[in-house]
Amino acid sequence: MTEPTKTPHYPTRNVVQLKNLQAASRQLQVFELDAEQGLYVVQSASEPGSFYEVSVQPEAMTGQCSCSWARYGGINCKHVLAALRFAHAGKGTLSFWPSQAAAQRQHRRTLQGQQLYATLRPRQRR
């Protein structure tokens, strides 16, 4: 057996899963530790008194999280999605899509992550 050198295969997500995850992420409290470093703590959904440490790269639309899903190789957990939305909140509202085609149908600026596409709806200017 040799070590895989390519990007490992992550379970793919369909629209329903991502929509559920996105809805769940919206319920979670996010606290900023260090915005420049992309460090946040995000509330656990199953244990609201617990928090996970999340670090995100907002422009790359990726992040790492201390929850067990992420520690076992999962990507784009709801905590990362919540932190990404928080990190972009000054610019607008993020929506997440599982495919580029789905994102492009929104006719918004699209940001690409790992098997994740996000669109940014700009804040209303007055």
Nearer to Zn ion by C-beta: 73 or 122?
Answer: 73
In the chain, the amino acid numbered 52 is: Y
Among 28, 56, 61, 70, contact with Zn ion (rule: CB under 5 A): 70
Closest approach, Cβ 66 to Zn ion, in A, equals 7
Rounded-to-integer distance, Cα 42 and Cα 53, Å:
7
Interior/surface letters 71-91, b for 16+ CB within 10 angstroms, e for the rest: eeeebbbbbbbbbbbbbbeee
- The one segment of 1-9, 20-28, 74-82, 107-115 that binds Zn ion by CB under 5 A: 74-82
Smallest gap from Cβ 46 to Zn ion, in A, equals 11
Closest-CA residue to 120 (of 85, 93, 97, 96): 93
Which of 76, 119 has the CB closer to Zn ion?
A: 76
Site of interaction with Zn ion (CB under 5 A): 65, 67, 70, 77, 79
